[in-house]
Chain A
C-alpha cells in the first residue's frame, strides 16, 4: 500500500506555471525582461511572500488569518513612528514591529483557540482593529522610514545591496529562500509542524492523543503574526512612506498564493516551498500582466481565475486518490 508519488504534485505544476509565466511575459514584452523590472518585482515580492509563509500555518490547520495585511501596515507604522518621533535606533524599531506582529498573532490565537471564535471572525476583527490602530498611533499621518542614504536606513541593505560597480543585488531573495527552507523543515520535521497538520486534519483526534492542542493552535497564529511583522520591515524598505488605512486586500494575495501553491483550503495539507512558489505566481501576474497590456482590473479577474483553477486541481486530486 505504498503511496504512488505522482510527478505532477501541485507544487511541481505551479513551479512549471511560474517559469512559463516568466517566459511568456518576457517574449511578449521586452521591458519585462529588463533587470530593473526584475529588481522592482523582487522588492515587492518580499512582503507578500513573507505574509504567505506565515499564513500557510493557519491555513493548514483549516483556519485563516485575515489580519496580516492591515496588520503589516500597522506594524510598519509603529516602527517608523518610533524612529521619527522618538529617535529610537532602527534595530530596536524593527524588533518592536516584529514583536507587535507576534502580539497581534497571539491575540488571534487566544480568541480562536481558547475562546473558540471562528478564525474568519477573530482575524477579521483584528484586521479592522489593526487598521484603525495604525491611524490612532500616528495621528492619521503617513510615516516615512529612513531612506537608504540616511545613517539609520541600513535596514534597506538587508533586502538589496549595491556592489562597488553600482550593480544592485536582490539580497532579500536569499533570505526568503533560507526562511522557506527553515519553515518547511519546521512543518515537516518538528512537533509544532506535525501538530499543525494534525489539527487541520482531525483536531478531535489530536486532542484525544494527549496533544496540547490549545497551545499549538495559538502558536500557529503567533507564527502568522510574526511573519506579518517581518513583512512590515520588507514593506518599509520598499515603500518610502507608510500610509495609515492601507493594507486591506494584501492578505488575500498572500492567502491566494498559499492556496495556489497547494495548501489545502480545507486544512491538513500544505508545503512551504509550494506556498512560496504560489505567492510568486500571484506576484508575477500582478506585476507582469500590465506589461503585456492588461490593466489592473483585468489582472484581478485573471488572478481570481487562476485561484479557482488551483483549488479545482486540489479537489480533483483528492477525488482521484479516493
Chain B
C-alpha cells in the first residue's frame, strides 16, 4: 500500500425524506484494493455517485491527490482519473468493442472518426491486460464476462488513478471471476487505487486489502482484511450474526408425492432431453455454469419459450403448457433472474404489483375493489416482512431484497404450489439474502415445491434438498444433498466442456 490518494470526510447527502449519507468518511491508498461493504441501502452507491459527480454533496470534503475537488459530472471525474465500472454494464450493444471503449472521446481525422486508430489502441489495451477480444466485434455478441473486461479496458484507457468496481462479479462465472481478479491484482501492482463493492464475502477475503463497512448511511469502520473474519464484517454490516444453517440432509419426507414430472424436455440448443421430478415440499437446486441451460429449461417448462418435445405431468396428470398463462393456471410461478425486466413493474406500487397476476379476483363488477386489494397486500407485506412505508410505495424505491419479496408475494397471492426461483438472491445483500432463504425454507415446509436456479455454490449447498447439475443444455447429474460437495458439482458442471 502506498500513500493516501483519496480522502472523503464528513460527506453528507440528503434526498427528500431520506438521509442517505450521514457524515461518512472514506480513505483510499495507492496500490490497494479497498472493499466497500454494506447492505443494500447502506449508502455505498450513493457515496460513489457523490465521488464521481453524479450527485452533488450537501457538505463534507473530497481530497484527491492532495487537492480538494468537486466534480459536477462523470466526465469531469473521468478526466481527473476517477472512473467507475458499473454494476449494470453500460455498453452500447449496437456499436463495436473499440467504438464503445472510446465513446465520447473518439480519435478524429478532421470531421471523421478514425476507427482504424481506435481499433489499434483497443488492441494495445487488451494486450496490456492479456485479454483476447476482437475490437471489431459487436458488443452485443460478447458474453457478459467479456463485456465486463471491455468496461475495465475502457476504465483503464482513461488513464485512471482510481477505479471503482461496483459489484463486478454479479454476473460472472467462476473462471471469469478468476480472470477479473488477475486483472485487478495487475492494476494494484501498477499502484492504482481500487474500490471494490461486492456482496460476496468469499471474494472480499480473496482480493481486498482493507474493508470499509457502511450501515444505514453511516460509516461503521475500516478493517484490514487479513486481520478479520467474515463474521466480523457481517457483524459490522448488520449489527448481528445471522445465517440459515446449511442443510445436511433432505427435509422432504420419504413418502412425499411427486408434484411435477418433466419428461424428455427439448427446447432449442440449450435444453436437450432434460428429465426430472419435483416432490412436494422439496427445494430442488439447479446448478451449473452460466449458459448451462438452466434458465432456458425453466422458461420452456413455464411456457415462456417454445419447446420441441417432452411431456410435463403435474400431480401425475399430463398437462399442456404452451404459454405462461397455462403454467400459472397449473399453479406454477416463475421468479425471473432479471427482476426489473421480467418480474416487476418498478414504476408501480407494491399493491399494483402484488395483485397484477390475480386482478380478476379483486374485481367488483367492472371496477377493482381497492380495499380488498389493499388488505391482501398488507397481509403479505406483514407475512414476508417487506420493509416499506406502506403498500402505496413505488417498487422502484425498495431495495433489491424487498423488491424480491414483492415478486414472491405476487406468486403467493396467486396460490402457486410450484415456484421457480431463478437466481433468487442476485444483487441482494447478506441480511436480506438470509431473509429470502428463511422464507424459501418456510414455503417448502408449508408444502410448496421449489425449483431454485443458482450460480452461487454456497447457496445451492445451503438450500437444496436435491441438486440437479446441467452442462451445455444437458442434465449431467443428480445429487442428493447428503452426498453433495462443491467438487462433485463442479465435476458434473464442466463434464462436457473439458
Q: Which residues of A contact B (CB under 8 A)?
A: 1-3, 185, 189-191, 194, 197-198, 200-202, 204-206, 208-211, 268-269, 321
Q: Which residues B118-146 have CB closer than 8 A to chain A?
A: 133-134, 136-138, 141-142
Docked pose: A268 CA to B96 CA in angstroms: 12
Closest partner residue, chain A, to B112 (CB atom)? A189
- Is B141 touching A194 in the complex (CB atoms < 8 A)? no
- Is A2 touching B104 in the complex (CB atoms < 8 A)? no
Closest partner residue, chain B, to A199 (CB atom)? B92
Q: What's the interface size class on B, roughly?
A: 20 to 34
Closest partner residue, chain A, to B88 (CB atom)? A204
- Is A202 touching B92 in the complex (CB atoms < 8 A)? yes
Closest partner residue, chain A, to B52 (CB atom)? A208
- Is B141 touching A3 in the complex (CB atoms < 8 A)? yes
**With A210-B78, A210-B104, A211-B103 in contact, do A201 and B134 touch (Cβ < 8 Å)?**
no
- Is B137 touching A2 in the complex (CB atoms < 8 A)? yes
Docked pose: A206 CA to B115 CA in angstroms: 18
- Is A205 touching B136 in the complex (CB atoms < 8 A)? no
Query: CB < 8 Å: which of B90, B95, B142 contacts A194?
Result: B95
- Is A208 touching B74 in the complex (CB atoms < 8 A)? yes
Q: Is the interface of A mostly helix, strand, loop or mixed?
A: helix
Docked pose: A191 CA to B142 CA in angstroms: 24
- Is B106 touching A191 in the complex (CB atoms < 8 A)? yes
> Is B225 on the interface with A (CB-CB < 8 A)?
no
A-B contact pairs, 21 of them (CB 8 A): A1-B142, A3-B136, A185-B112, A189-B111, A189-B113, A189-B115, A190-B112, A194-B113, A197-B94, A197-B95, A201-B92, A201-B94, A202-B90, A205-B90, A205-B92, A206-B92, A206-B103, A209-B90, A210-B73, A210-B74, A211-B103
- Is B103 touching A198 in the complex (CB atoms < 8 A)? yes
* Inter-chain contacts of B113 with A (CB < 8 A): 189-191, 194
Q: Which residues B211-225 have CB closer than 8 A to chain A?
A: none
Docked pose: A97 CA to B113 CA in angstroms: 32
Query: CB < 8 Å: which of B73, B78, B141 contacts A1?
Result: B141
Contact digits for B84-102, partner A, Cβ 8 Å, 1 yes 0 no: 0010011111110001000
- Is A1 touching B106 in the complex (CB atoms < 8 A)? no
**With A189-B113, A208-B74 in contact, do A3 and B93 touch (Cβ < 8 Å)?**
no
Contact digits for B370-391, partner A, Cβ 8 Å, 1 yes 0 no: 0000000000000000000000
- Is A210 touching B92 in the complex (CB atoms < 8 A)? no
> Is B75 on the interface with A (CB-CB < 8 A)?
yes
- Is A201 touching B78 in the complex (CB atoms < 8 A)? no
- Is B86 touching A208 in the complex (CB atoms < 8 A)? yes
Write the nearest CB–CB distance from A308 to chain B, whole angstroms.
22
Docked pose: A145 CA to B162 CA in angstroms: 64
* Inter-chain contacts of B90 with A (CB < 8 A): 202, 204-205, 208-209
- Is B103 touching A2 in the complex (CB atoms < 8 A)? no
**Apart from A197-B94, A210-B78, 8 more pairs, CB < 8 Å:** A1-B133, A189-B111, A200-B94, A201-B95, A206-B104, A210-B75, A211-B103, A269-B94
Q: Compute the total of residue contacts between A and B using a CB distance below 8 Å.
A: 70
**With A189-B113, A210-B73, A210-B78 in contact, do A197 and B92 touch (Cβ < 8 Å)?**
yes
Docked pose: A204 CA to B113 CA in angstroms: 22
- Is B95 touching A198 in the complex (CB atoms < 8 A)? yes
**With A198-B103, A210-B75, A211-B103 in contact, do A1 and B93 touch (Cβ < 8 Å)?**
no
* Inter-chain contacts of A321 with B (CB < 8 A): 141
Closest partner residue, chain A, to B101 (CB atom)? A209
- Is B95 touching A3 in the complex (CB atoms < 8 A)? no
Docked pose: A245 CA to B150 CA in angstroms: 53
Closest partner residue, chain A, to B89 (CB atom)? A205
* Inter-chain contacts of A198 with B (CB < 8 A): 92, 94-95, 103
Write the nearest CB–CB distance from A269 to chain B, whole angstroms.
6
* Inter-chain contacts of B91 with A (CB < 8 A): 202, 205
* Inter-chain contacts of B73 with A (CB < 8 A): 210
Write the nearest CB–CB distance from B417 to chain A, whole angstroms.
33
Docked pose: A202 CA to B91 CA in angstroms: 7
Docked pose: A197 CA to B137 CA in angstroms: 16
Docked pose: A197 CA to B91 CA in angstroms: 12
Docked pose: A269 CA to B95 CA in angstroms: 9
Query: CB < 8 Å: which of A3, A185, A205, A208 contacts B138?
Result: A3
* Inter-chain contacts of B136 with A (CB < 8 A): 2-3
Docked pose: A114 CA to B133 CA in angstroms: 37
A2, A198, A269, most chain B CB atoms within 10 A: A198
Query: CB < 8 Å: which of B75, B92, B137 contacts A3?
Result: B137
Docked pose: A78 CA to B93 CA in angstroms: 43
Docked pose: A33 CA to B394 CA in angstroms: 63
- 3 A-B pairs with least C-beta separation: A210-B75, A205-B90, A201-B94
Write the nearest CB–CB distance from A145 to chain B, whole angstroms.
34
Q: Which residues B50-100 have CB closer than 8 A to chain A?
A: 73-75, 78, 86, 89-95, 99
Docked pose: A205 CA to B94 CA in angstroms: 12
Docked pose: A198 CA to B78 CA in angstroms: 19
Closest partner residue, chain A, to B111 (CB atom)? A190
Docked pose: A152 CA to B51 CA in angstroms: 63
* Inter-chain contacts of A208 with B (CB < 8 A): 74, 86, 90
- Is A202 touching B93 in the complex (CB atoms < 8 A)? yes
Write the nearest CB–CB distance from A13 to chain B, whole angstroms.
20
Docked pose: A202 CA to B141 CA in angstroms: 15
* Inter-chain contacts of A189 with B (CB < 8 A): 111-113, 115
Docked pose: A190 CA to B115 CA in angstroms: 10
- Is B141 touching A268 in the complex (CB atoms < 8 A)? no
